[in-house]
Amino acid sequence: MPQCHICSNTITPFMTFGQMPIANGFLSEKNTATEYFFELEVAHCPKCNAVQLPHQPEKEKMFHTEYPFFSGTSKSMQTHFADFADSVNTEYLAKLHDPFVIEIGCNDGILIKNFLNLGYRHLGIDPSANVADVARSKGVDVITSFFDITEAARIIKSHGQADLFLAANVMCHLSNINSVVEGIQRLLKPTGILVFEEPYLGEVIETTAYDQLYDEHVFLFSAHSVKFLFEQFEMELIDIAPQPTHGGSMRYTVAHKGQHSVTQTVTQQLQKETLLGLCEPSTYKKFKESCEKSRDQLVSLLESIAKRGETVAGYAATSKSTTVLNYCGIGSSLVSYICDTTPIKHSRLSPGMHIPVRPDHEFHDDYPDYALLFAYNHKNEIFQKEKAFSKQGGRWILYVPEVITL
C-alpha cells in the first residue's frame, strides 16, 4: 500500500484518471511510439489531509533541458508576481538591512527579478536549464538544481541564511517535500519567512477543476495539510490569503515557531475547510462523481458538435489540458488542433492524444466554430484579446466550474 509523502500514513487512492503521459511532454511524431505513461491515481491522507498522487514519475522525466513552460507568457501573471513581490517587500523586507531572498522553481525569473530590481541579494534555483537560462539573461543569479536538504547545506555555506524564501506553484511539485521543508527550515534565518502559493485544494473541489491533477502536481495543499507539514519541523503557518491565479490559489506564509504573530486568517481558513468537508473521505467520493459527470458532459458536447460538422480548436496547450484530453479520451477527431503562443510547443503533438499544437496565428487566420479554452485561468486576458473571434460568431467552450458554451 502506498504511504503519504508527508506523514507516512498508509493511503488508499479514491480515484484514478487512468494512464497519463507527462503533462508537459509535448512530443514530435517520431517519439510517439516510445511515449511514457503512468497511472494517475489520487489519494487523500486522513491523517495530514494532503491530497496527493501516490506515484509520481521520476522528476528528471518532468523537468529537464526542454521544459516547455515559461511563466512569463501571460501578462496577468507578470502583474500578479510584481504585486506579490511588492507586498512581501513592504511587509517584511523593506525594514531589513541588506536582505537575502531565495526562490525555488524560479523559472524564467518572473517573480525573483523584482527583488533583483530592488537591488537585493537574491538566488534563484531551478532544475530546468532552459528556463533558468532565460532568468539568467535578465540578470538573475540562478543555480540549475533540484532543491533539497543537501542543496540547502551548500547554499548556507556559499551564501548564508535567507530572510525570505519564495516558491510560486512549486511546493506542490515536490514529492520529497519533507527534505525540502527541512532544507528551508535550516536555510531561513530565525526571523526569516517563507511565502509560497499554489493551486488551492478547496477551489479544485468546489469547481471540479480536476485538470489541476497531473504528474507535476503531486500535492493539492490546504491550510490543514500545510499546517501539519510545517509543524513537523517546528515551523508554523502564520498567514493565509486567497489568490485569483490558476483558477483559485492560496498564498501561505510560514515562519519559525513563535517568531511572528499568527493572523486570524489561519483559524478562519481552517474552519472554512472543515465546513467544506476537506478532511472527510466522503468529499473525495463526491469529487470523483463530479469529475465523471464533467467528463461525460464535455465528451457529449464535443461529439454533438462534430456530428453537426462544426469545428473545434483547443485554446492554449496547457499542462492541465493533458489531463482533460487523456481522461476524457478526446483526440483530433473532436479537437482538430490546439493553438498556443509558446514557440517550443509548436509543430509538436499534445501528450497522449497527439493533437497537433499550432501557433496562435493559425487560429486567427481561420477561426474554428468553437474554441475549447484550456487556459480558463487566463479567461479575462484571453477574452479581451480574442474579442474578434466572438464577434464573428465563434463560441467558447468552458469546462470549469461546469461544461458550458459562451
- Site for ligand TYD contains 342 (CB under 6 A): yes
- Site for ligand TYD contains 348 (CB under 6 A): no
Of the pair 69, 120, the CB lying nearest ligand TYD is at 69
- Site for ligand TYD contains 316 (CB under 6 A): yes
Q: How many residues bind ligand TYD (CB under 6 A)?
A: 18
Applying CB under 6 A, which of residues 52, 128, 225, 319 lies at the interface with ligand TYD?
A: 319
Of the pair 217, 295, the CB lying nearest ligand TYD is at 217
2, 44, 383 from 10: Cα distances, Å: 6, 10, 45
Which among 5-13, 150-158, 297-305, 336-344 is the span making contact with ligand TYD, rule CB under 6 A? Answer: 336-344
Cell of 360: 496562435
Provide the mask over 182-221, with x wherever binding to ligand TYD is found by CB under 6 A and - wherever it is not.
----------------------------------------
Residue type, 28: S
Which positions from 16 through 75 interact with ligand TYD, judged by CB under 6 A? 69, 73-74
Of the pair 254, 328, the CB lying nearest ligand TYD is at 328
167, 213, 252, 274, 339 from 318: Cα distances, Å: 20, 12, 25, 31, 10
Q: Is 384 exposed, middle or buried (0-12, 13-18, 19+ CB in 10 A)?
A: exposed
By C-alpha distance, which of 180, 210, 214 is closest to 196?
Answer: 180
Question: What is the smallest separation between the CB atom of 31 and ligand TYD, expressed in angstroms?
Answer: 19
How far apart are the C-alpha atoms of 160 and 52, rounded to whole Å?
Answer: 33
For the chain, give the number of residues.
406
Q: Find the radius of gyration of the CA atoms of the chain.
A: 21
Applying CB under 6 A, which of residues 382, 397, 400, 403 lies at the interface with ligand TYD?
A: 382
Place of cell 497531473: 214
- Site for ligand TYD contains 317 (CB under 6 A): yes
- Site for ligand TYD contains 320 (CB under 6 A): yes
- Site for ligand TYD contains 107 (CB under 6 A): no
Applying CB under 6 A, which of residues 340, 371, 397, 400 lies at the interface with ligand TYD?
A: 340
Q: Which residues contact 391 (CB under 8 A, 6 or more apart)?
A: none
Of the pair 160, 343, the CB lying nearest ligand TYD is at 343
Which positions from 119 through 158 interact with ligand TYD, judged by CB under 6 A? none
Of the pair 25, 183, the CB lying nearest ligand TYD is at 25
112, 314, 321, 364, 386 from 310: Cα distances, Å: 45, 14, 21, 17, 19
How far apart are the C-alpha atoms of 211 and 67, rounded to whole Å?
Answer: 19
Which positions from 362 through 381 interact with ligand TYD, judged by CB under 6 A? 375, 377-378, 381
Instruction: Specify the DSSP element, H or E, that contains 116.
Output: helix 113-117
The residue ranges that bind ligand TYD (CB under 6 A) are: 69, 73-74, 316-320, 340-342, 360, 375, 377-378, 381-382, 385
